[in-house]
Amino acid sequence: MIVRGESGDRYPWEPITLAQQLARTAEAHPDRDALVFEGRRLSWAQTQTEVNRVARALQAAGVERGDHVAVWVPNHIEWILLWLGANSIGAVIVAINTRYKTEEVAYILRQSDAKLLVMVGAFAGIDYLAMLARLRKEDLPELRDVLVISSPEWDAFLDAPEVEIDVDAIAYDDPSFIVYTSGTTGYPKGAVHSSRVLRNECSIAEAMDIDASSRVMNHMPFFHIAGACTGVLPPLITGGAMILMERWDPAHAFELIERERVTVLSGIPTHFIDLLNHDALETADVSTLKTGWIGGANNPPEVIAAIVSSLGMKGILPVYGMTETTSITTIPKLDDPPALIASGKGFPVSDFELKVVDTVSGAELDAGAEGEVCVRGHLVMQGYYENPEATAEVIDDDCWFHTGDLGVIDPNGYLAITGRKSDMFIVGGSNAYPAEIERALSEHPAIKQAYVVGVPDPRLGEVGFAYVELRRDADLDHAGVIAFCKGRLADFKVPRHVEFVTEWPLTATGKIQRFLLRERAEEARTEVSR
């Protein structure tokens, strides 16, 4: 069964670049707020002026069409100006994770062939300049220059002479930015995307009812596909405002929601759980909140229900997507039944194709059968930069991108994600999926969060190892967890090992790094067996 989504007609897509879209929006909504960050406020007309200034500066600095500009900057206005400025001259932004350390940054700079690095001096207690000093020039042969924002050199960079910038000379399908995978399963790979991402974001803007009056809070990091695409592009398309947060802080989020009258709030479940458990919820004015998405991890139905009841967000929509598929891939409709929305199911957000295939044979499966989720169409990345082997592993000869996620398509074309193909472990010949076990564990009133990985077992091949974080003042032991699971799951799915934790290995966007949990569990099992 192949499902094809439909693009909306409210914001019809045209084959234009990000820079051309900015010009249209600045002309249509010149005086509306575009970018708001810590007392700084730019209208769309002012944003256009600043983007042109950055484009001229990049060109004067020797950046040419196709060159790569690495951006090691948190959610500041300059990040967006650099992206749109680079797009204006056909250069490509390389987004660097703001939590990376020296070796990780060196890898991205080297692997991406970055010609220019733009960075801040420090962020979140990390001394970027000290790390920069430890980079070996001989290891980065392509890197020509480094610019530090808010330095005298940055000011001089922006004072470039007036030159003509021809944004119409750039093609919409030229590479525009490279976003590296978040590292939940191993070494990051650079997914290359073009201005074609606007095609998906036009439909996302309509699905979330975003317009020129919307005020979108963007706290998801810009080095992440959700921050860069789904946070920035719907406002760019519609003329809505972006309210930027340098990094996630629930107390500050409440302040911004109230002060800036935020209407659209999105994030991973952790972000919403933080808000729902914060003392400020009792007094903060969140009456302006209307819509948003929740995704990036399992979306617990009880969290979605609490978002509706406590934050008043009747338009909260669970989504599914990934770096390689331009962020959001499936999303329910605002007028879908509440029970369907709470289930986490979603429909293809725009006119691309979706199917589920058998994990062994690759054969297309009918509705109701579980298999690997595959997508084909405009939202799929152009490939992993300078990594044809990895690209060939996930994009087949018929242009289907194999997500590595497991799912089921219902008769109406809605997709439910059931787990990850790579997370699955086999217990005595039976397939066990962590997502299913985690959902069962999340139903225990004492459990705040739980994640499960498979570890080697001498008799069964593999068994489940559960990491459990308890709610404050909760009382639950190993035996209690096992007994609870036995009452809800087939015996082969019940974890054999339980470890209680208070901290998790996270990516900078708050995703659990399962490969680290798996390594830790295997080490623990090795110690026990000695």
Mean pLDDT, range 177-193, rounded to an integer: 81
Average pLDDT, integer, range 512-526: 89
Query: How many percent of the chain have pLDDT more than 70?
Result: 98
* Predicted local confidence at residue 185, as pLDDT: 56
187 versus 24: the higher-pLDDT residue is 24
**What whole-number distance in Å separates Cα of residue 230 and Cα of residue 80?**
13
Q: What is the pLDDT of residues 103-159, one digit of tens each?
A: 889 999 999 999 999 999 999 888 999 999 999 889 999 999 999 999 999 999 999
pLDDT of residue 285: 98
Question: Residue 329: pLDDT above 90?
Answer: yes
Per-residue pLDDT at 401 exceeds 60: yes
pTM comes to 0.87
pLDDT band with cut points at 50, 70 and 90 for residue 100: confident
* pLDDT, tens digit, 9 for 90 and up, residues 455-497: 998 888 899 999 999 999 999 999 999 999 998 887 889 999 9
Band of the pLDDT at 183, cuts 50, 70, 90? low
pLDDT (mean) for 440-446: 94
For residue 527, the model assigns a pLDDT of 66
Fold of the 425-529 domain:
GMP Synthetase; Chain A, domain 3 (3.30.300)
Residues 6+ apart with CB under 8 A from 367: 1, 409, 410, 411
Query: What's the average model confidence in pLDDT over 190-210?
Result: 97
- pLDDT-derived band at 276 (thresholds 50, 70, 90) equals very high
Could you tell me the CA-to-CA distances from 487 to 419, 444, 493 in Å, in that order?
Answer: 21, 11, 11
Task: Average the pLDDT over 502-523 and give the result.
Answer: 89
**For residue 102, is pLDDT > 60?**
yes
Burial profile 149-174: b = 16 or more Cβ within 10 angstroms, e = fewer: beeeebeebbebeeeebebeebebeb
Q: Tell me if 23 sits within 8 A of 221, measured CB to CB.
A: no
Please report how the helices 269-276 and 250-260 are oriented relative to each other, as an axis angle in degrees rounded to 10: 80
pLDDT (0 to 100) of residue 530:
52
Region 55-80 average pLDDT: 98
pLDDT of residue 457: 86
| Residue 155: half-sphere exposure toward Cβ, Cα within 13 Å | 3
Residue 181's pLDDT band, with cuts at 50, 70 and 90, is: confident
- Examine the pLDDT at 49 and tell me if it is beyond 60: yes
Domain range summary for the chain, segments of one domain joined by +:
425-529
The average pLDDT across 64-79 equals: 98
| 435 pLDDT more than 90 | no
